[in-house]
Amino acid sequence: MSPRSTTPGTNQSWGGRFSEPTDAFVERFTASVTFDQRLALQDIQGSVAHATMLARVGVLTDEERDAIVTGLGEIRAEIERGEFQWSVKLEDVHMNIEARLTDKIGITGKKLHTGRSRNDQVATDIRLFLRDEIDVVEAELIRLREGLIALADREADTIMPGFTHLQTAQPVTFGHHLLAWQEMLARDHERLLDCRKRVNVLPLGAAALAGTTYPIDRHVTAELLGFERPAENSLDAVSDRDFAIEFTAFASILLMHLSRMSEELVLWTSAQFDFIDLPDRFCTGSSIMPQKKNPDVPELVRGKTGRVYGHLIGLLTLMKSQPLAYNKDNQEDKEPLFDTLDTVRDCLKAFADMAPAITPRKASMYEAARRGFSTATDLADYLVRRGVAFRDAHEIVGQSVAFGLREGRDLSEMTLEELRQFSDTIDEDVFEVLTLEGSVAARNHIGGTAPDQVRAAAQRARDALAALASHGRQDGRA
Ligand code: ARG
């Protein structure tokens, strides 16, 4: 027998105990369907698994399950075709889909929610959604890492100034600089995969907060949805949003790295540095200054970092005072998480497309390394090898640099006699260490900038990336 109809103007799903309709503003204020409809396909996926499990344990008949699965399949097609009518009156994605199912298949549709609550349902939907998105983010991250490794290998011999305090310090190779970026991204990649493990846990079965009286089998549901295991504790399962915070923390660190890279790209494309060229397709012009070619893509990535940091603080603050278990506050988790995902994906795509197209202006990089006495440390090391104490060597080189500054010449452009004014330990072979090529080649150990080391490091990075990707295929990642 059907229950008496609910008070007109109240929600069909919970209107039974209400005696007046919801205030129109409150209806809009509490609804989430305008944004949580993004979870629709995962909501259906979760419901299909739930109904399948309920039939497996005998709570639904096989016919009921089939009607539910078929009805949900049709709803999925309506959503994909853009024909589904979303209603704010039905509050959220879950109740919109359930109401449509009941329209289509009648009373059996009302049985789908047996042994389940929107609390465990929404937590499951977000985890399914985030898991899919993590796999997309990972694919872009891999593409960017591969692009940087290939470029680094190609530019292993290209010399540029290395900086500390943004002042010319010592010559490095461009390949070495690119592999420094790659290391940042390798750590981000590990963080992403570590976060994925904690996303991949099933809340369903926790029901509203305490579990359910039906003989459910949560291992079956977990397996059907590809989750590693059911969540251990029902109170925690419905209220935990650590996984969203962790993803946003991963995203914040990644964006911080992309922002640092962006800053360098912006500097390097300037006329003052003139180190690289970015193809026109990644730049835009000025509406007033005809000569301008602006590095908008890296600038915008740098700018977008701020919103992701904001979302991290937003989510942490959302969770900080919530008592167990589910609270409506949790509905506020979705928009920051969605925006973080969209931002990370777009920024990674921009970088993955752009990285292979970075063209170094080699002559200009080389000239910049030659200016600024970048081989001064090499001269000091040379003196030390000849028995001079490092502090004395530092002083001798300091005087040589002061001389060079007065004369407007680099150390490698001085004559042997000029250099010997400061130390008679200096011989003709000093010029081998004063060249930029000699300077970089001498840093020939693991982690050093020597071209051979850069090529070996690029190979190791390629191997590590391939190992991580094949490990991923074993965990069922895309
Ligand atoms: N729209 C809700 C959310 O996003 C779904 C869960 C609502 N549960 C409840 N008991 N009101 O969190």
Model pLDDT for residues 208-233, shown as the tens digit of each residue: 999 999 999 999 999 999 999 999 99
Instruction: Give residue 2's pLDDT.
Output: 56
Model confidence at 345, pLDDT cuts 50, 70, 90, reads very high
Note whether 418 and 392 are same-domain residues: yes
The atom number, within ligand 1, closest to the CA of 330 reads 12
Average the pLDDT over 49-67 and give the result.
98
Q: Distance, CA 71 to ligand 1 centroid (Å)?
A: 23
Instruction: Give residue 292's pLDDT.
Output: 81
Note whether 335 and 407 are same-domain residues: no
Instruction: Give residue 147's pLDDT.
Output: 98
Report the percent of the chain where pLDDT is more than 70: 97
Average the pLDDT over 281-296 and give the result.
85
Of 5 and 77, the one with more pLDDT: 77
Note whether 207 and 280 are same-domain residues: yes
Distance CA 163, CA 170 (A): 7
Q: Which residues are identified as catalytic?
A: 165, 286
Residue 6 lies in a domain: no
pLDDT at 256 over 70: yes
Instruction: Give residue 336's pLDDT.
Output: 98
Q: Distance, CA 257 to ligand 1 centroid (Å)?
A: 35
Give me the CATH number covering residue 157. Answer: 1.20.200.10
Note whether 75 and 168 are same-domain residues: no
Q: Distance, CA 3 to ligand 1 centroid (Å)?
A: 23
Average the pLDDT over 157-181 and give the result.
97
Model confidence at 475, pLDDT cuts 50, 70, 90, reads confident
Residue 47 lies in a domain: yes
Note whether 387 and 360 are same-domain residues: no
346-387 confidence digits (pLDDT tens): 999 999 999 999 999 999 999 999 888 999 999 999 999 999
Of all protein residues, the one whose alpha carbon is nearest to atom 3 of ligand 1 is: 331
Please tell me the total count of domains within the chain.
3
Give me the CATH number covering residue 401. Answer: 1.10.40.30
Note whether 102 and 131 are same-domain residues: no
Instruction: Give residue 473's pLDDT.
Output: 66
Average the pLDDT over 18-44 and give the result.
96
Q: Which of 95, 114, 133 is the last residue of a domain?
A: 114
Domain of residue 435: give its range: 372-456
Note whether 314 and 435 are same-domain residues: no
For ligand 1, pick from 118, 315, 330 the residue to mutate: most ligand atoms within 8 Å of CB.
118
The atom number, within ligand 1, closest to the CA of 93 reads 1
Q: Which of 71, 92, 114 is the last residue of a domain?
A: 114
Average the pLDDT over 171-197 and give the result.
98
Instruction: Give residue 284's pLDDT.
Output: 83
**Mean pLDDT score of the chain:** 95
The atom number, within ligand 1, closest to the CA of 32 reads 1
Q: What is the pTM of this model?
A: 0.94
Q: Which of 99, 114, 129 is the last residue of a domain?
A: 114
Instruction: Give residue 8's pLDDT.
Output: 67
Pocket of ligand 1 from Cβ distances under 6 Å: 32, 36, 92, 118-119, 122, 326, 328, 330-331
Note whether 352 and 215 are same-domain residues: yes
Instruction: Give residue 5's pLDDT.
Output: 60
Note whether 189 and 212 are same-domain residues: yes
Give me the CATH number covering residue 97. Answer: 1.10.275.10
Instruction: Give residue 297's pLDDT.
Output: 96
Instruction: Give residue 455's pLDDT.
Output: 98
Residue 257 lies in a domain: yes
Residue 465 lies in a domain: no
Of all protein residues, the one whose alpha carbon is nearest to atom 4 of ligand 1 is: 331
Note whether 232 and 312 are same-domain residues: yes
Residue 474 lies in a domain: no
Note whether 97 and 144 are same-domain residues: no
Residue 377 lies in a domain: yes
426-466 confidence digits (pLDDT tens): 999 999 899 999 999 999 999 999 999 999 999 999 999 99
Residue 357 lies in a domain: yes
Note whether 220 and 311 are same-domain residues: yes
The atom number, within ligand 1, closest to the CA of 36 reads 4
Ranges 2-11, 78-87, 200-209: which has the least confidence? 2-11
Q: Distance, CA 122 to ligand 1 centroid (Å)?
A: 7
For ligand 1, pick from 14, 86, 116, 122 the residue to mutate: most ligand atoms within 8 Å of CB.
122
Average the pLDDT over 297-311 and give the result.
98
